[in-house]
Copies of this chain bind each other. A is one copy, B any other.
Amino acid sequence: MNPKIKWLRDKINMENMQGMIISNPVNIRYLIGVEAEGVLLITRKENFFITDARYIEEVQSILTINDGIIVNNIANISRDDYENFFLFCENVGFEENYITYATYKKYMQRYKINNFEETENLIEKQRMIKDDEEIGFIEKACYITDQCFSHLCEFIKIGKTEKEIAYEIENFFREKGADGLAFETIVASGKNSSKPHAVPTDKKIEAGDPITIDMGCKYKGYCSDMTRTIFAGYVPVQIQKIYDLVLKNELQTMREYKDGASIKLASKMVENDFKLNGYDLVHSLGHGVGLEIHEMPFINGKNDNTFKTNMVVTNEPGIYVPGQFGVRIEDTVLITKSGCINLTKSDKNYIIVDK
């Protein structure tokens, strides 16, 4: 049997469940490597993937006998079949953070489940800890992203638009063999940089603009995430102080990122230092990165957990002055036993393009 399914079966057994319904496509991708609409059923003795005619051929070409997954066409499953899947199961788990209230009600009716148990992100929590193959894919995605950044430092000139830069990023990723974007690229220049989630516009880069570039690609399904705020022509004096404060905190955070360290504390340190200087940390300090661009752990002042070896997370403090400008610096980082390894290698000092 596929080792991730084996892990899951052991885990649900330990939690006194005899089955589980997995509906979240990212979790299904993680467990069995399949990207198709469908639902994965872990029953007392067997594992079923129920999909529809559009995907049957492809799914069967990916799964092997060693995966131990029975593939079913949803069109061939009768009402009795549904009722039999979890016969003799006391407790069956479901993904309460993924399925809608309406689907919950439908599952309750369809599967005739005795006790339908919330599984509290069982699989998402396992996904936090990356194996060697996953780390390799993320490293590759980060490497392509670093290359892209080097290219941009030459490519960006005064007069280019934010959209032109965003398109260049996407094309670069493709040419270098990435699957595509990990998320919609942010290129926010001048005043636009004051919006943490700005969308690229037709605004042209002007001399003195800060340019915040938040970008990432996917490689074999796994994401990278980096942000730099760079400058066109020169670094305006009033931005320097804030840039230095953000960078200081980013570097300091790197020393807090290690196995066993408090996630809450890492976030609180930045929040406090920003407050002392009259600013707020208006978004999370970071998040896990993997098959999803934002996944567990979420690094903020409310997370009571600790960092663990082989988590991959971002470190991304930012300060935004409404209507004026913003600065964010972000790396993708691998947590290790004694500290962390920065998978994003690009320079973080002042970078001036089109000098």
Contacts and interface: CB of A to CB of B under 8 A. Distances in A.
Interface of A: 36, 52-55, 57-58, 94, 96-105, 118, 167, 171, 174, 194-198, 280, 282-283, 322-323
B197 A55 contact: yes
A55 B283 CA distance: 11
A258 to B, nearest CB: 28
B167 A54 contact: no
A303 B53 CA distance: 19
Contacts of A100: 96-101
A156 to B, nearest CB: 18
Contact of A196 (B54, B118, B198, B322): B54
B195 A58 contact: yes
Contact of A101 (B53, B54, B101, B198): B101
A69 to B, nearest CB: 19
A57 B323 contact: yes
B323 A197 contact: no
Given A167-B174, A174-B167, A57 B194 contact: yes
A41 B119 CA distance: 29
12 contacts: A36-B197, A53-B196, A53-B282, A53-B283, A54-B283, A55-B197, A57-B195, A94-B101, A96-B102, A99-B100, A100-B100, A101-B118
A194 B322 CA distance: 53
A57 B22 CA distance: 38
Contacts of A102: 96-97, 118
Contacts of A322: 57
Contacts of A53: 196, 280, 282-283
Contacts of A171: 167, 171
A194 B96 CA distance: 36
Contacts of A198: 58
A230 to B, nearest CB: 21
A57 B195 CA distance: 7
Nearest to A323: B57
A54 B195 CA distance: 7
A345 to B, nearest CB: 27
Contacts of A280: 53
A2 to B, nearest CB: 22
A326 to B, nearest CB: 10
A260 B322 CA distance: 52
A267 to B, nearest CB: 15
A57 B97 CA distance: 29
Contacts of A194: 57
